[in-house]
Amino acid sequence: MVALSFLIWLPLIFGVFAWISENKFKSSGNWITLISLSGLLIFSIYLGINGTSSLSWEWFARFNIHFALLFDGLALLLVILTIALAMLAVLVSWNDIEKHRGFFHFNLMFSVAGIIGVFLAADLFLFFLFWEVMLLPMTALILIWGHEGRRYAALKFFIFTQVSSLLMLVAIIALALYHQDQTGELSFNLGQLQQLVIPENMQFWLMLGFFIAFAVKLPMVPFHSWLPDAHTQAPTAGSVLLAGILLKTGAYGLIRIVLPLFPSATMEFAPVAVTLGVISIIYGALMAYSQTDFKRLVAYSSISHMGFVLLALFSWHEVALQGAILTIVAHGISSAALFSMAGLIQHRIHSRELGKMGGMWASAPKMATVTLIFVMAGIGMPGMANFNGELFTLLGSYQQFPVQTIVASLGIVLSAVYGLHLFQRAFQGPPNVDVVDLHMRELVFTSLLVVALIYFGLQPHIVLDLSSETISSLMQIAGEAHP
Amino acid sequence: MNMQDLLFLVPLLPLVSSIILLLLAGRLSPMLVAVFGVGSMALAAILTLLIGIEFLGMGGDSFQQVLFNWLPIAGAPLNFGLHLDQLSLVMMGVITGVGWMIHWYAAAYMFGDKDVQRFFVYMNLFVFAMLMLVLGDSLVLLYLGWEGVGLCSFLLIGFWQHKADNVVAAKKAFIVTRVGDTAMMIGLLILFSEFGSLHITTIVDSTVQVSQSNLWLACLLLVGGAVGKSAQLPLQTWLPDAMAGPTPVSALIHAATMVTAGVYLIARMHPLFLQVEGILNLVAWIGALTLVLAGVAALAQTDIKRILAYSTMSQIGYMFLGLGALAFDGAIFHLMTHAFFKALLFLTAGSIILKMHHQQDIFKMGGLFKSLPLTSTFLLIGLLALVAFPGSSGFFSKEAILAATYEAHTAGPTLWWIGVLGAFLTSLYSFRLLFIVCFGPANHDLKEADYKASSQLVVPLLPLVTLAVIGGFISLDFSLVFGPAHHPHIPLWIEWMPVAASLVGFILAWALYFPRKAMQANDGVISHFCRDGLGFDWLYEQIFTKPLQLFARINKSDVIDHFYHFVGWLNFSLNEVLVISQNGKLRWYLFGTLAGCALMLGGLLWWR
């Protein structure tokens, strides 16, 4: 289906279009980006509604590399999330960007194209290509429109991702060569590679190559330290995309590549990965509490939340896998929402320091209420999306790794500690600073986020229905690996 | 049409009202706010009454109402469903009935506050969450209510959020109870892995053979959740500080409803507790120790609301004692009567505080019987119910618990004696409060004209006064939940011993505290120690808060990042070293090349 590839081309084309148009007519870029993203959203739903579709064009015939895309339920879910959060990124930085506005929109759309590519790729070479493609515009976003320490943060982000993805490249090539060794033909196709029977020892090293790349992206302690800097220094739109989607590509890689390709190595490695996940949960939460910078705090809380995803995936229990998917979606929304609030506050008081905030409820009650809801969602208030993810994760993981899961549960207390620290320092106490309350545009998109968080809290069905195919196939693989 | 089919409206009404008030923030007149806030409660209470009449008329069989599919947990999907039985009906009655009166009172109490609309958003939301807690048919839905009431409690304690102290108290309440919540969550994980479901009736009716040690642990963890919410040892420290909230909040959340959620939880899950050894014994001991400890602490307080807070803690201790002594019906009975008289006490305290221009120190009141006769009479009635004056509501419920304690194999005479000691302490601190506040010379300089009375502050108290007096005659039937009621046969002296203890307390209070001259608070070391809650705050600060803050201070810049900094530094340093070698001097290069050759040749020879 040719139309499938439009999901990748269109954002690029519209990105260029917005760039040119913005340079001709000021602030037309916002509208073009927003409208084209809405169109893209409808288009992706239209494509995905009829079930799985795929596409495969011959590309480098000599190496048997194909331009192969696969658009199933899980991919649809994440593409929708990507586009929706990109729209949020546009809305939240409507007036924020002062220089090179056209180029900004181009970069935004460029990274959307790269991320959608990662979610669609069914060929490992293509996957790697998009993995690199999405890195460039994001680095540019941080480097050009970031805050005071942007050079350092962009460099750090680039090096961490680059080094780790080199390991992945080595693993990809080794995998393709092994396929040649076994069948006489090179292959980068995910479906074909899944048929390979790889000896345990080799599985482990290949798995590790992919795992480290994805663990850096996730991020997992101790590979996390690029994230607080990147998040803090990125412009709001960058933070929204980073936290909302970019981190999820790490989880997506685990789901799509590591688990199905290397099941027995994964299971063998699971105790280590789960323990690292639990360490991420606890350490991330403790570090979040230690911060006084609004964005840095939220960044560390993301590490804590993504630890739940790692715990869930490597537990490889059906309920836990459901929990992982729910957490991916929920954290995508809630962390993007919190970073938006950070952006709105920074736009008003030109600071991210909690010490410079305080008592803002008095002057901005709407902003306070919305932030409170986001914080509560983030710390797992039942009835909102994140709680479902955590509950499913804990219920499922407990069956496989009871001790680690119990330690992970302590994250519930710690999340309350940092969540209240954030909210109370900013909005309660004696008024320290007067801010302008949310105006119409801001109220609209923050309300939509609130509705989304509560909707997915009460009706997680759509998320789980879309991912049920992936989950059941993973459970089947698990059954075969451990009969 | 069956009234029971309207069950979902009972929680829905306050929720809708809360959402309306939230969405129309700042656009409604205070009068309209009160209409929504109190009106929704009145409707919910009336509906509860109608449902209750029909429910009892039909024999009290439990009733389920599924609202929608909620969590599609693989293999054990959960619905968003309500479950009405004799236990939840009583709880629902207390929440909506007493809640209505408190909302009504609050409308008058908070009338002048500029944030009155926000206040009712929280209050109505609280009632919704509390109703979900008692009506939820699964432990997850119960947990939703459980966390929801915690959130509202947090918001209402910190309602006057411009004051730093209130904000700290709110945070403390939330985090301390969340420690309990986490224990409870781990308990849920164990129950799910044992029973394969989180549906309450499925779990308690299960005939599946489960591991005793896991069940024991799960019950212990549920108790952990219960002690957090109900402010029992060792998680009791948040309740006195929670008094920072407006007084109607203290009446509703921190006396009548939320703090009794732990009692409800244990009563609801009692079939599990009956299957394991020792946990109910532990519950009884927790209750007994808390009731004495809180009673002692109450004796040393000077703030009227903190006295009542410790008193609440102590009375919930009795409920835990009852649960531990297998008197589940007695515990819930005491929960109900306590809701009546403690709500009354808090609201009268609120009236006094309001009329004393926000003075809460009992030593700065005095002689109020003359200036505020009606309010003081209400206070007296509430206190009499609290000390279990024969015939009052508190008498019957406390008697039921203590009698069961003496007999039960999980409790016994030792715990009964502690309960009697508690009765003595209750009487002592209650009459201390009454004498210092209402008798003797006035210790304030307010004139008659300063007392503003509003009829709206009195009318809602009348039903509570009535119930505090005669509420003990309401006969509750829990036979379908807890099994047939058990009437202990105990000697007469055991029945009257608590009354005698109360009498001793009264006499001692008369001797010690009846004001013959202007009174002053005792300022000794022991008094201070008791006033600060017997050192628990200090202990927890040393064990938990300070290490956490220390970690936060030391590791703010993330020690792991230092490793990457080191790698970066190493690279830059190597770069600099190598840069030195590229200095453009030919002889250096020549030397380098020769040295390299020599080294390689030497190496080659060496290896050969």
Whole-number Å distance between alpha carbons of B163 and B172:
15
Residue whose structure tokens are 């590790």: A208
Q: Are B560 and A228 an interchain contact pair (Cβ–Cβ within 8 Å)?
A: no
**Same domain flag for B457 and B602:** no
Q: Where are the alpha helices (DSSP H) in B199-303?
A: 200-204, 212-229, 238-241, 247-251, 261-268, 270-275, 279-300
Chain B contacts of A289, Cβ < 8 Å?
548, 552
Q: How far is CA B396 from CA A310, B134, B330, B385, in A?
A: 55, 24, 9, 10
Whole-number Å distance between alpha carbons of A188 and A191:
9
Count of domains in chain B? 2
Print burial letters for B241-279: b (CB count within 10 Å at least 16), e (below 16).
bbbbbbbbbbbbbbbbbbbbbbbbbbbbbbebbeebeeb
**Same domain flag for B517 and B584:** no
Whole-number Å distance between alpha carbons of B247 and B569:
59
- Mutation site for A-interface testing, chosen from B80, B165, B189 by largest number of A Cβ within 10 Å: B189
| A430 inside 8 A of chain B by CB | yes
Q: Are B548 and A417 an interchain contact pair (Cβ–Cβ within 8 Å)?
A: yes
Nearest CB neighbour to A424, from listed B25, B171, B189: B171
Q: What are residue A269's phi and psi, to 5 degrees?
A: -80, -15
The upper half-sphere exposure of residue A254, i.e. CA atoms within 13 Å in the direction of its Cβ, equals: 32
**Contact between A442 and A344 (Cβ < 8 Å):** yes
- Mutation site for B-interface testing, chosen from A390, A412, A415, A463 by largest number of B Cβ within 10 Å: A412
Kindly report the pTM of this predicted structure. 0.91
Q: What are residue B109's phi and psi, to 5 degrees?
A: -65, -40
Sorted by sequence, the CB contacts under 8 Å of residue B463 that are 6+ apart come out as: B101
Q: Are B551 and A286 an interchain contact pair (Cβ–Cβ within 8 Å)?
A: yes
Q: Are B162 and A429 an interchain contact pair (Cβ–Cβ within 8 Å)?
A: yes
Q: Are B186 and A409 an interchain contact pair (Cβ–Cβ within 8 Å)?
A: yes
| A19 inside 8 A of chain B by CB | no
Chain A contacts of B192, Cβ < 8 Å?
395, 398
Q: Are A289 and B71 an interchain contact pair (Cβ–Cβ within 8 Å)?
A: no
The single-letter DSSP state of residue A379 is T
**Same domain flag for B314 and B362:** yes
Q: Are A359 and B548 an interchain contact pair (Cβ–Cβ within 8 Å)?
A: no
Respond yes or no on whether the N-terminal peptide bond of residue A222 is cis (omega within 30° of 0). yes
Q: Are B189 and A420 an interchain contact pair (Cβ–Cβ within 8 Å)?
A: no
Domain for residue B185, yes or no?
no
Domain for residue B332, yes or no?
yes
B66 bridge partner residues: B81
Q: Are B560 and A412 an interchain contact pair (Cβ–Cβ within 8 Å)?
A: no
Chain B contacts of A225, Cβ < 8 Å?
558, 560-561, 564
Chain B contacts of A221, Cβ < 8 Å?
560
Which one-letter amino acid corresponds to residue B75? G
Domain for residue B433, yes or no?
yes
Q: Which of B521, B546, B574 is the last residue of a domain?
A: B521
User: If you measure CA to CA, which chain A residue comes closest to B198?
Assistant: A395
**Contact between B571 and B560 (Cβ < 8 Å):** no
**Same domain flag for B476 and B593:** no
| SS3 of chain B: helix, strand, coil, percent, to 5 | 75, 5, 25
Chain B contacts of A416, Cβ < 8 Å?
174-175, 178
**Same domain flag for B395 and B512:** yes
ipTM given for this complex:
0.91
**Same domain flag for B566 and B455:** no
Which one-letter amino acid corresponds to residue B567? V
Domain for residue B568, yes or no?
yes
Closest Cα in chain B, distance from residue A144 (Å) = 23
**Contact between B216 and B303 (Cβ < 8 Å):** no
Domain for residue B162, yes or no?
no
Give which of A49, A39, A3, A41 is closest to A465, Cα–Cα: A49
Residue whose structure tokens are 């269109």: A10
**Same domain flag for B563 and B507:** no
Crossing angle for the helix pair A461-481 and A318-349, to the nearest 10 degrees? 130
**Same domain flag for B306 and B375:** yes
Domain for residue B380, yes or no?
yes
Domain for residue B128, yes or no?
no
**Same domain flag for B568 and B505:** no
Q: Are B148 and A391 an interchain contact pair (Cβ–Cβ within 8 Å)?
A: no
Beta strands in A27-180 (DSSP E): 53-60, 65-71
**Contact between A445 and A374 (Cβ < 8 Å):** no
483 residues of chain A, pLDDT tens digit each: 678 888 888 888 888 888 888 888 877 878 888 889 898 899 888 888 888 888 888 888 888 888 888 888 899 999 999 999 999 988 888 887 778 888 888 898 999 999 999 999 988 999 999 999 888 999 998 988 888 888 888 888 898 888 889 999 999 998 888 888 888 888 888 888 888 888 888 888 989 999 999 999 988 888 888 888 888 888 988 899 988 898 999 999 999 999 888 888 888 899 999 999 999 999 999 999 988 889 999 999 999 999 999 999 999 899 999 999 999 999 999 999 999 999 889 888 888 888 888 888 888 889 999 999 999 999 989 999 999 999 999 999 999 999 999 999 998 899 999 999 999 988 888 888 888 888 888 899 899 999 999 999 999 998 988 888 888 888 888 888 764
**Same domain flag for B292 and B418:** yes
Q: Are B552 and A289 an interchain contact pair (Cβ–Cβ within 8 Å)?
A: yes
Q: Are B167 and A365 an interchain contact pair (Cβ–Cβ within 8 Å)?
A: no
Q: How many A×B Cβ pairs under 8 Å?
A: 124
Domain that holds residue B602: 557-607
Whole-number Å distance between alpha carbons of A472 and A318:
8
Residue whose structure tokens are 């781990």: B186
**Same domain flag for B343 and B431:** yes
Sorted by sequence, the CB contacts under 8 Å of residue A205 that are 6+ apart come out as: A171
**Contact between A310 and A276 (Cβ < 8 Å):** yes
* Model confidence pLDDT, tens digit, residues B261-286: 999 999 999 999 988 888 999 999 99
* Model confidence pLDDT, tens digit, residues A19-68: 888 888 877 878 888 889 898 899 888 888 888 888 888 888 888 888 88
Residues 191 to 230 of A: which have CB under 8 A from any B CB? 221-222, 224-225, 228
**Same domain flag for B450 and B596:** no
Q: Which of B475, B505, B521 is the last residue of a domain?
A: B521
Domain for residue B448, yes or no?
yes
